[in-house]
């Protein structure tokens, strides 16, 4: 019962936001070229959806490809940084330096190396999603409780046994928390790359719409990006709750 | 006082020697002039003074002594978690480090993996320790599962096998902890104040549980405790240790027949034994600095 009221009130507030937007634009006679009405955006989104759809798929595919490789690399680097002093002293500074560079500045280099199109989008998504994963996995590994490790060490467990049975499972909540961040920034990364150098993908659509002063389409693109972003985030939140319920003490069996 | 202590410990050690010279393999643990220091030079601390100890197969040895005297260090030495600074540690006829024996260990903190159910937690040693680990994938849903369930039933945790550790009380967690320490049929069981964090009633109940498990499988047990009644209730021998740097100052057999009950602890001889142990520790504790 309480859950239903929660959902209803949340929906009411969100609908109220768009209602207020619509109402203010109509009352103040805001030009379509500055800020289109939510209703207009919705209509454009539905009308142009068949055109937008393949671009969206392209962007999501680049995002997921970059994200997957980014997470794999991030986990490996994170385990190294979290368990080895040497890796912490060498890899970590390098990684922080690399992550401090705005990705917009790196995309042209990717383009020179691999040409415009899908690969720079994937690489941008990859390079953005590595960092949050490394930081979280390294934290999880390095804060592993020695008591838990002693239980296995007393049994004669090898370092590998301890990694697989204590350090990694314990790190899962940290990993999943970082996946939510990583998927979001990977999505931003691939769109950014597409706006700079591609002729396909939702980022490209936005650039073309901007050049044509098609403000309604621009906003429709934004709406689509937001909805997809929410969906991706939701997907990984769900996975997090499913696999690391023990960390939040949910009785749902992991 | 001091002299009587020394003669008592010497007698016990000699008794141990003569028994083992007859049947050599029954000696499970030998500590020869072992000491442990942590850190270097002046800033270092001696965790364990020079200690010599023989443990025979099937014995249940209780270590008591003031806190910080190195009781736990002995267990960590035997399990290989700590290396001796001087002396030799021989476990199961081999110098420690080579796993000659299957060892089970339980700490004061139950240290259950929070992401595993109680059943999977108890099964963990079977995943790690040979020869079980080779069969783990094949048997974890069959034979191993039955084995864990049987053990959990023995300590009254049948209904909690599928629960997660945070859903259990402290006493239940320690029961599960004992099961985990015993599931791989260890020849040597090391218990580091396993009941230290429990209330008195739960603790006394678990003495019975532990005793039953021990009588059932008869591993050699080293128990560290600061509870004299616990030491005497469970142990076949009590080693009293001095304050830091710890040494064994008394090594006494406990004369009561197993299985012991709570009634045993109210017998005059039992109370007298407890009193003797207490008198050994308390002056040691007050004169600890000068020793």
ipTM of the complex: 0.72
The pLDDT, as a whole number, for residue A190 is 94
Q: Stretch A10-32: mean pLDDT, rounded?
A: 92
Count the domains in chain A. Answer: 1
CA of B200 vs chain A CAs: smallest distance (Å): 24
Whether A5 is covered by a domain: the verdict is: no
Q: Which residues of B touch A150 (CB under 8 A)?
A: 81, 105, 107, 111
Is residue A14 included in any domain, yes or no? no
Range among A68-82, A135-149, B91-105, B275-289 rated most confident: A68-82
pLDDT of residue B286: 54
Structure confidence at residue B97 as a pLDDT band (50, 70, 90): low
| Distance separating alpha carbons of residues A122 and A133, to the nearest angstrom | 17
Q: Within a domain: residue A102? A: yes
Nearest residue to B70 via CA among B253, B252, B242: B242
pLDDT, mean over chain B: 81
Test the B interface: residue of A153, A155, A167 with most B CBs within 10 Å: A155
Residue A138 pLDDT exceeds 60? yes
pLDDT value of residue B281 = 81
The residue ranking higher by pLDDT, B287 or A208, is A208
Report whether pLDDT(B41) > 80.
Answer: no
* Chain B residues within 8 A of A165 when measuring between CB atoms: 113, 124, 127-128
Q: Does A252 touch chain B (CB under 8 A)?
A: no
Distance CA B110, CA B101 (A): 23
- Residue A222 belongs to some domain of the structure: yes
User: pLDDT > 70: what percent of chain B?
Assistant: 87
Q: How confident is the model at residue B15 (pLDDT cuts 50, 70, 90)?
A: very low
Question: Which chain A residues are closer than 8 Å to B121 by Cβ?
Answer: none
Q: Note down the domain range covering A193.
A: 42-243
For chain A, what percent of residues have pLDDT higher than 90? 53
Structure tokens at A86: 């040497």
- Give the tens place of pLDDT for each residue, B240-267: 988 877 888 888 888 888 888 888 888 8
B87 confidence band (pLDDT: 50, 70, 90): confident
Q: DSSP letters of B257-268?
A: PSSP-GGGGGSH
Say if residue A251's pLDDT is above 70. Answer: no
**B91: helix, strand or coil:** strand
The CB density around residue A35, as the number of other CB atoms within 10 Å, is 16
| pLDDT of B14 over the 80 cut | no
Q: Confirm whether A176 is domain-assigned.
A: yes
> Distance between CA atoms of A55 and A51, rounded to whole angstroms?
8
In the predicted structure, residue A40 carries a pLDDT above the cut 50: yes
Q: Does the residue A248 lie in any domain? A: no
Q: Classify residue A29: in a domain, yes or no.
A: no
Under an 8 A CB cutoff, do B124 and A151 touch?
yes
Res B198: pLDDT: 82
Is A21 a domain residue? no
Question: Which CATH number belongs to the domain containing residue A88 in this structure?
Answer: 1.10.3720.10
Q: Which DSSP symbol is given to B246?
A: B
């Amino acid at each position: 019962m309480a859950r239903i009221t929660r959902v209803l009130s949340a929906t009411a507030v969100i609908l109220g936001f768009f209602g207020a937007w619509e109402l203010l634009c109509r009352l103040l006679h805001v030009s379509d070229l500055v800020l289109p009405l939510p209703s207009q955006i919705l209509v454009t989104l539905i009308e142009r959806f068949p055109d937008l759809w393949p671009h969206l798929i392209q962007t999501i595919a680049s995002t997921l490809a970059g994200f997957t490789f980014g997470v794999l690399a991030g986990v490996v680097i994170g385990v190294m940084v979290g368990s080895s002093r040497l890796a912490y002293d060498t890899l970590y500074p390098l990684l922080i330096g690399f992550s401090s560079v705005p990705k917009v500045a790196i995309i042209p280099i990717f383009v020179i190396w691999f040409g415009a199109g899908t690969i720079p989008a994937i690489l941008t998504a990859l390079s953005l999603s590595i960092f949050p994963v490394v930081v979280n996995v390294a934290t999880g590994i390095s804060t592993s409780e020695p008591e838990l490790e002693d239980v296995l060490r007393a049994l004669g467990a090898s370092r590998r046994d301890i990694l697989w049975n204590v350090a990694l499972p314990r790190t899962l909540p940290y990993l999943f928390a970082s996946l939510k961040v990583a998927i979001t920034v990977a999505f931003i990364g691939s769109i950014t790359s597409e706006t700079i150098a591609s002729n396909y993908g939702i980022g490209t659509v936005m650039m073309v719409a901007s050049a044509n002063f098609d403000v309604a389409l621009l906003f429709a693109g934004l709406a689509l990006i937001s909805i997809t972003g929410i969906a991706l985030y939701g997907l990984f939140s769900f996975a997090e709750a499913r696999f690391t319920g023990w960390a939040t003490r949910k009785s749902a069996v992991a | 006082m001091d002299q009587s202590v020394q003669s008592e410990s010497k007698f016990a050690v000699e008794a141990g020697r003569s028994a083992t010279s007859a049947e050599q393999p029954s000696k499970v643990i030998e500590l020869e002039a072992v000491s442990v220091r942590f850190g270097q030079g002046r800033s270092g601390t001696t965790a364990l003074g020079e200690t010599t100890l023989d443990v025979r197969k099937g014995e249940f040895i209780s270590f008591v002594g003031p806190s910080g005297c190195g009781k736990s260090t002995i267990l960590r030495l035997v399990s290989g978690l700590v290396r001796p600074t001087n002396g030799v540690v021989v476990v199961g006829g081999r110098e420690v480090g080579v796993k000659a024996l299957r060892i089970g260990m339980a700490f004061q903190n139950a240290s259950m993996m929070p992401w595993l159910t109680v059943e999977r937690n108890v099964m963990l040693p079977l995943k790690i320790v040979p020869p079980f680990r080779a069969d783990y994938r094949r048997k974890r849903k069959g034979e191993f599962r039955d084995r864990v369930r049987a053990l959990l039933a023995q300590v009254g945790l049948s209904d909690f096998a599928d629960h997660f550790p945070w859903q259990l009380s402290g006493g239940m967690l320690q029961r599960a902890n004992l099961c985990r320490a015993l599931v791989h049929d260890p020849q040597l069981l090391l218990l580091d104040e396993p009941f230290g964090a429990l209330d008195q009633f739960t603790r006394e109940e678990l003495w019975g549980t532990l005793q039953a498990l021990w009588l059932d499988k008869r591993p050699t047990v080293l128990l560290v405790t600061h509870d004299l009644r616990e030491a005497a209730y469970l142990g076949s021998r009590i080693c009293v240790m001095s304050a830091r740097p710890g040494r064994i100052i008394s090594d006494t057999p406990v004369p009561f027949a197993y299985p012991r009950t709570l009634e045993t602890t109210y017998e005059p001889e039992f109370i007298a034994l407890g009193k003797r142990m207490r008198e050994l520790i308390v002056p040691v504790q007050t004169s600890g600095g000068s020793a």
